[in-house]
Structure 1
Amino acid sequence: MDYSRPVDAELFPEGCERCSLTKFTGWMTFLGLIFLWGLYAAVRVLSFGLGETGMDDYFGFGLWITFDLAVIALGAGAFFTGALRYILNIDELKNIVNLAAVIGFLCYTGAMLILVLDIGQPIRCWFGYWYPNVHSMLTEVIFCITCYCIVLILEFVPLILENRQLMKKRFIHALAHNFHVYMPIFAGIGAFLSTFHQGSLGGMYGVLFGRPYLFREGFFIWPWTFFLFVLSAVASGPMFTVLICALIEKMSGRKLVSWEVKQLMAKIAATMLLVYTVFKCLDSWYWATDTLIGEGLTFDQMFHGWIYGKWLFWLEHLCLIIPRTVLLCKGLRAKAPIMYSMMFLTCTSIVLNRYLLTVQGL
């Protein structure tokens, strides 16, 4: 026996080394404090009600809904990367698709936990399934998020089964292999479910004709916000995955994914960002110059003070236009600090968008 190795070294993947105890303890302490902060907030909400989040009869949502929708959008890298890898057969993404699945799993389970707080009384969490409001887009959101969370769990299971010790068992080895065989089906189902629930989250706000900041016209039964939410998630999800990958590499001091794969993800995401930016700017222009005027309102009336000021609207669009321009230039994209900065700006824009369409819009 090699006593120089950790006791549980046999559980590690080949070539994987443990980081120092000091670094591990430091980061776990930091993450533990964040977890305790969230646990404290959850106890307060479940003990004293949703009024703790600033909700009242005028504001139908608390600030938490912004983070809920933002996490769902940024976690979309899982379904989009999975679709690119398993359906479009882009083999270069095989080294990052597992990380994307883990990030998506954490984002969506986190969103489900926030929804537990959202309903106020977790004991009635089954009401949405047993007594669905067939006229509400939120019903579609509930079912799609739940089903997609199950798909993410199925995509996450092979990562556990591929443990070196577990793979020695013939049944588990065969099960893990078959999971990979049918992974294109899971990826396709995940892409379908995620597309519709991302869109329904946007459509849920776009149909609120009593809220002029939110109301949009659209195509058939879907307002334009339905399609904008899908495009924004597809554009920002892969960027968030790359940012998390870079952060983990910085924290652990170990390389997870090659620079070429990150460049490919940035190129694909930049292309989707171009599409989203064009339609987003057209939507904003039409809303300000036609939809609002049709309601007898003006652009200036939609904003007030500093917290709800116009600067947020312009910052959201600026954080789209600049990254789109920079990331489409190969020379600029090849520089790591610039690429990561532009990805961070894009994710910031998406979070701002969710804030403006939830808290600001109300």
Structure 2
Amino acid sequence: MDRALFPDGVERCSFGKFVLWMGFISAFFLFGLYAMLLIFYKGIVVTGLDNYFGFGLWITFDLAVIALGAGAFFTGFLKYILKIDQLKNIINLTVIVGFICYSGAMLVLTMDIGQPIRAWFGYWHPNVHSMLTEVIFCITCYCLVLVIEFVPLVLEQKQLNKIPFLHHLAHNMHVNMALFAGIGAFLSTFHQGSLGGMYGVLQGRPYAFREGFFIWPWTFFLFVLSAVGCGPIFTVLCCTLMEKMTGRKLVDFKTKALMGKIAGTMLTVYIFFKILDTWAWANNYLPSVGMTFDQMFYGVIYGKWLMFTEIILCGLVPAIMLITPSIRNNPTLLYTAGILDCIGISLNRYLFTVQSIAMPILPFDNWQFYAPNWAEWATSGMIVAYGILVMSLSYRYLPVFPQERGMNK
């Protein structure tokens, strides 16, 4: 029924199967939409958040997807600024993944601020002393950059591309894509860093507070490094999942291995400095404020095993795997390392968000416990469903993968 809309020379599943798939995913999206509308109507009182935990699942999810979407700006920088031509085989997918992650993150924030009708206050009445102001403006601007980068791909859809004006518009936008890639790299670097810096300046939260360089705590730089250490490999995982589900080859393994090498190199740099930072924090900063390393943890839910999992199992291990050619060139081991990498960075965002708040900071305080309820899970699932819907439509109708036609003859 819609074969005329497919990219040239490729096959897609029947329209009936596609409708069933989209309907199945849409059910999750609609359930999350119901939860979101309920939150907009009644406020965040219907969630598991309270006066103690203003940050929870949503902010953890938000920070995680922003880090995982960093493949867009970093791959764009490598492709258009440093001229690594092989990345042209996967650059379109990184843009789509980045667009989904950033637009989804902004949607999450409309719920977390509690009063979305006042979302514009951050722009019109900015707190110039807050790192969140930089985050607000940089995320918004970079999301617009991703829209600009996504538009040419949409305009290259087979039927749209037959319209002369749209054809020339897409061509001219591609010609100037290096400009947008540079702007995107600048904006994304600063907001990734400021998200980490936001935690690093919290002197009342010893788990998160860090000293640093000039006005930037070390978490500013660690968040940037961690994002570029997981973003490229997350795109590879998305591509591989699409290949498994569609039964078609989309990107050659050489390109995937290159993305793994890039991610592994940056992850190694990150883990090196993360270990140094953790050591300095435990041996210098904590004793200076009269606290011990053991006081930062409690029981199983906030135990040391989480930090060990983040830094060693899901940090050092995948870093070694990704920078070792013999391991990286094995598909199964590459994907395993990628999964561990993404879990580790997501766990890092959880620890900085939830454990930092849960820890008692006054003599009469106790450890607090937070459990997200159905509304938070449903709306987070809605963002995932939204991403799957956008990716499914893009795969079916847009020329996302330049190698697909040649690899599936």
The equivalent of 1:171 in structure 2 is 165
1:208-287 matches, cutoff 5 A = 208-287=202-281
The equivalent of 2:122 in structure 1 is 128
| 1:335 is aligned to 2:330 | yes
Output the CA distance in 2 between the equivalents of 1:283 and 1:34.
Answer: 41
Q: Percent identity?
A: 66
Gaps of 5+ in 1: 1-6
| 1:69 is aligned to 2:69 | no
Output the CA distance in 2 between the equivalents of 1:67 and 1:52.
Answer: 18
The equivalent of 2:379 in structure 1 is none
The equivalent of 1:325 in structure 2 is 320
Q: Which of 153, 157, 168 pairs up with 1:159?
A: 153
Length-normalised TM-score, structure 2: 0.85
Tell me, yes or no, if the aligned pair for 1:81 and 1:100 is still in contact at 8 Å: yes
Output the CA distance in 2 between the equivalents of 1:361 and 1:306.
Answer: 15
Q: Which of 174, 182, 189 pairs up with 1:195?
A: 189
Output the CA distance in 2 between the equivalents of 1:337 and 1:85.
Answer: 26
Code of the residue aligned with 1:52 in structure 2: it is V
Q: Which moved more, 1:135-144 or 1:165-174?
A: 165-174
Q: After TM superposition, give the deviation of residue 57 of structure 1 in Å.
A: 2.2
The equivalent of 2:111 in structure 1 is 117
Tell me, yes or no, if the aligned pair for 2:310 and 2:348 is still in contact at 8 Å: yes
SS state at 2:174 partner: helix
The equivalent of 2:390 in structure 1 is none
RMSD: 1.3
Tell me, yes or no, if the aligned pair for 2:322 and 2:334 is still in contact at 8 Å: yes
Q: After TM superposition, give the deviation of residue 296 of structure 1 in Å.
A: 0.5
Output the CA distance in 1 between the equivalents of 2:342 and 2:161.
Answer: 38
1:85-100 matches, cutoff 5 A = 85-100=79-94
Q: After TM superposition, give the deviation of residue 17 of structure 1 in Å.
A: 1.1
Residues 252-277 of structure 1: per-residue CA shift (max 9 Å, x gap): 11111111100111111111111001
Gaps of 5+ in 2: 358-409
The equivalent of 1:3 in structure 2 is none
Tell me, yes or no, if the aligned pair for 1:54 and 1:63 is still in contact at 8 Å: no
Q: After TM superposition, give the deviation of residue 174 of structure 1 in Å.
A: 1.1
Give the length in aligned residue pairs.
Answer: 356
Output the CA distance in 1 between the equivalents of 2:355 and 2:193.
Answer: 20
Output the CA distance in 2 between the equivalents of 1:59 and 1:101.
Answer: 33
Tell me, yes or no, if the aligned pair for 2:2 and 2:15 is still in contact at 8 Å: no
Tell me, yes or no, if the aligned pair for 1:138 and 1:201 is still in contact at 8 Å: yes
Q: Compared with structure 1, are the counterparts of its residues 37 and 321 closer, same or farther at alpha carbon in structure 2 (3 Å cutoff)?
A: farther
Q: After TM superposition, give the deviation of residue 97 of structure 1 in Å.
A: 0.3
Q: Which moved more, 1:327-336 or 1:69-78?
A: 327-336
Output the CA distance in 2 between the equivalents of 1:129 and 1:185.
Answer: 25
Bigger relative contact order, structure 1 or 2 (CA pairs below 8 A, ≥6 apart) = 2
Output the CA distance in 1 between the equivalents of 2:325 and 2:147.
Answer: 36
Code of the residue aligned with 2:353 in structure 1: it is T
Tell me, yes or no, if the aligned pair for 2:257 and 2:329 is still in contact at 8 Å: yes
Code of the residue aligned with 2:45 in structure 1: it is G
Length-normalised TM-score, structure 1: 0.95
Q: After TM superposition, give the deviation of residue 327 of structure 1 in Å.
A: 1.4
Output the CA distance in 2 between the equivalents of 1:173 and 1:272.
Answer: 37
